[in-house]
Structure formats: structure tokens, C-alpha cells
Structure 1
Amino acid sequence: MNPSQGVILYGPPASGKDTVTSALTEMNPSYAQFARLKVGTGKSVGYRMGTADQLHELEAAGDVVYANVRYGNTYAIDRPGIDTAFAAGVPVVHLGQVDGIRALVDGYRADWSVVLLWCPRGVTERRSAGRGDSDTAARLAAWDATREDLDKNLGATWNLTVDTTASTPQDAARLIDQLLAQRAGAATA
């Protein structure tokens, strides 16, 4: 793999971003979920918890590549965090907004492979309830926002699209790994 390769997984809540990332990491430990900086409360697993002051310092230094607010929290992709992730291997960044994809692809120089993970709204509802989320209604609102985001950005380009109701996480991981291998081969040809 090219050391400057990264993966962006885009999709609505419960579309399989965490599960597919776990399958990628099991298949090849070079892959690792990028832990976004989270300012707020709630789930801390998979995030670097930070303070509003830390976020303001990053913003003042021009080191916030993208930030969004959802579920009453602020989530940021910061340049120092991405630098560290690339030094460790192949970062897998989870996003739920096309604007975030654009900001990352345009704002951080790397060979990004953009993967759309998709599942129907009812599947998000069942998966969210099944994993014990206390905010399933908010996740369904986020699913609706993701659908609107896709509809507004019909020209968005995906390097790969995976229906997570039809593919196992391991199959999705293999497809993503193959995509990165093909892109690395094309870059060296």
C-alpha cells in the first residue's frame, strides 16, 4: 500500500462504518479508524475527547480540516490528528456529510479512496435499536439528513459503493483493500 493512502467511509448511521473498519483492521492491521476530536458528551469510544478550548486553539492555528455538529456534539478532523494517523498506517475516516468529504479531500493532501456504505432507513432503525442506542430517533434524523445530502450532491463520486445489507463486513473490507491495491498499482504504473 502507498503510505499516503487513506479511506473515507461515508454513510448514514448504522450503515456499517464501525463494523467494516473492524473487518479491515482484522484483515490488515495497517488500517486504523481515525479518531476524530469530539467536544461534548456521550460515546467516547472511537474518539479523542477534547475541550472547546482545544478546538478553538486548533481553529486559530488553521489545523481544523473539517468540523460538524451532530447529536449536540462537535466532531473535528484536525491536521495533527491526521498526520499521526498517516504515520501509523492507513487511516479510515468516518463521515456522514459530503461537505466533510470535500473538505478532507481538498484540505489534506493524500490519496483518498471514498467509499459509500449504504443501508435503508429501516435497517438503520433496527441496527440502532439492536445495539442499544438511546438516541435512535436522532440517528434516524441523521439518516434523513444523509439522504438529503446525497440527493443534493448527485454529482458526488464514489470509488466504491457497498450495500451493507447485501455484503458482509469481511466482503466489504476485501473490496476496499482491493480498491487501494488497484489505486496503488495505478499510481506506480
Structure 2
Amino acid sequence: MNPKQGVILYGPPASGKDTVTTALTELDAKYAQFARLKVGTGKSAGYRMGTAKQLHRLESAGDVVYANARYGNTYVIDRPGVDAAFAAGVPVVHLGQVDGIRALLDGYPADWSVVLLWCPREVTAQRCTGRGDADTTARLAAWDATREDLDAHPDLAWDLTVDTTAANPQDAARLIDQLLARRVGAATT
């Protein structure tokens, strides 16, 4: 079994990916959010801002593990970025597309734990409004797309599912940490 452990947090907008990742990093400094390369504009916190030229170089080198377009931007999971994240500890990758999960599982060998974070659509709306998102309508459309994506892939197996309306971020982080510890234990027995 590959000794590199990583976490994939999948869920719709405002399902708690950032909040649970913060709780994970507070629980253990080995966890760190993977900063995707973002080509475009808008929010830069949590991203490595890049250019179309950088993206083209990565594509030419075969170093794009997964890319998707949303909110008028391109978001990239790149091999050099993931290499650096694993060198620093346990990367926590945020995704909202099943294709992204499959691309990462198939395209970057590691012991990935896949966690579904979920909340109802109305909770996404409340959370987006509460945090002052200017693009709540687009985020609700992304929620709808995430639901459709899940419905289209009933065969996808989750290592853990967390309803973020029922579990607080610290409890979710503990569950994820315990999941990784069990996987290490199972690999050594």
C-alpha cells in the first residue's frame, strides 16, 4: 500500500469543506488544504493564482491531473502541486465533481480517503448569504450540479459521509482523522 495518505472532501458549495479542513489542521498540523491552481479572477485566498500560459505548460507536460471550469475560472489539480502537498504532510483536496475524484484516484497514486460532506440546498443558500457571497445564485446552480453528479454515479463508494448540519466541524475532523488512522492500521496488519 502506498504510504502517502491524502483526503478528498467532496460536496456542494457551503457544505463545510473549508470549515472542516480548518478543524483538521487545528486537530493535527500534518493536514493542509491543497491549494489548487486557479486561472482567472476573484477570490485568491486558498488558491495558487496562475496564468493561461502556466496552465498550457502543465498540460503540455502531462502534469494536469484534473481541471474544471466554474464561476468563470479554471481550477487545476496539478502533479507538481500535489507532489509538494504530499512532501508537506497530508493534503486535503476539495472537489465538487465526481469526475475530479476519479481523475485524482486514477491519476495520482496515493492512499486517498474520499469523504462526502453534505448539506441540503436551503442550508447552502443560508450559509452563502450568511458569509456574504455575491454569487449565491451560481453556488446554488453548483449545488444542483453536485446533486445531479451524485445521482448519476450511484456506484461511487464513500469512505465516510458527514452531514454537516448534524456534525460540528471538530467532530467531522475527528472522524476523518480516525478514518486515516484505521487505514494506516489496516495497512500494517
Superposition TM-score tier, normalisation by shorter sequence:
over 0.9
TM-aligned CA deviation for residue 177 of structure 1: 0.1
Q: Distance in 2 between matches of 1:64 and 1:182?
A: 31
Q: Distance in 2 between matches of 1:152 and 1:3?
A: 32
2:77 aligned residue:
77
SS in 1 for 2:14: coil
Q: Distance in 1 between matches of 2:22 and 2:98?
A: 23
Query: Could you list the runs of 5+ residues in structure 2 that have no partner in the other structure?
Result: none
2:138 aligned residue:
138
8 A Cα contact 1:3 1:89, kept in partner:
no
Counterpart amino acid of residue 99 in structure 2: D
TM-aligned CA deviation for residue 3 of structure 1: 4.9
SS in 1 for 2:109: coil
Q: Distance in 2 between matches of 1:123 and 1:3?
A: 37
SS in 2 for 1:94: strand
8 A Cα contact 2:3 2:111, kept in partner:
no
TM-aligned CA deviation for residue 99 of structure 1: 0.4
Q: Distance in 2 between matches of 1:58 and 1:66?
A: 11
SS in 1 for 2:80: helix
List aligned pairs for 1:123-162, cutoff 5 A.
123-162=123-162
Q: CA RMSD in A?
A: 0.7
SS in 1 for 2:137: helix
2:180 aligned residue:
180
TM-score of the aligned structures, taking structure 2 as reference length: 0.99
1:9 aligned residue:
9
2:90 aligned residue:
90
TM-score of the aligned structures, taking structure 1 as reference length: 0.99
Deviations 1:156-183 (A, max 9, x none): 1100000000000000000000000000
List aligned pairs for 1:34-53, cutoff 5 A.
34-53=34-53
Q: Distance in 2 between matches of 1:185 and 1:107?
A: 25
2:122 aligned residue:
122
Counterpart amino acid of residue 117 in structure 2: L
Q: Distance in 2 between matches of 1:91 and 1:97?
A: 18
SS in 2 for 1:114: strand
Please state if 1:29 is matched with 2:29.
Answer: yes
Query: Could you list the runs of 5+ residues in structure 1 that have no partner in the other structure?
Result: none
Deviations 1:142-161 (A, max 9, x none): 00000000000011110000
Q: Distance in 2 between matches of 1:39 and 1:30?
A: 27
Q: Distance in 1 between matches of 2:5 and 2:99?
A: 20
* Aligned sequence identity (%): 81
Counterpart amino acid of residue 170 in structure 1: Q
1:66 aligned residue:
66
